[in-house]
Structure 1
Amino acid sequence: MDKLVTLRTFFDATEAHIIKSLLESEGIKAHLLDEHSATYVYSPITIGGIRLVVHQSDIEAAKEILSSMD
């Protein structure tokens, strides 16, 4: 089983969803962890942000996609 690894952490749910959608449009499965806690229960800063995770086998491709945005 492929381990999930954190690619990036966000303090803004909208930005997290945009990046997640970008990765998925390139065929990389991505998941947001702690999104609901950060949005509805606690401040994102309090829980350390919303974590965008991908499968370890996709990490290099995901990093490449994100670096092309900079």
Structure 2
Amino acid sequence: MAMEASEIESLIRTGIPDAHVEITDLAGDGNHYAARVVAESFRGLPRVQQQRRVYEALGGRMGGVLHALQLTTAVPE
């Protein structure tokens, strides 16, 4: 069962309330997405910890309901 982009965005925004989230369906199949997540709360965190926060917000759906996610994280400029 595929996930909708809006569901991914909602999960991330719930887990990281200050996040600006952009989701792109890479293959048009609801299984392969790219996400760009920008949040002030990432400031000072190494990239791996930023990405870990996003995966935690997704609540274990990676590799199951959500097949593939190309993830980019950043802090606001």
**TM-score for the superposition, normalised by structure 1:** 0.42
Larger helix share, 1 or 2: 1
Q: Which has the higher contact order (CA 8 A, sep 6+)?
A: 1
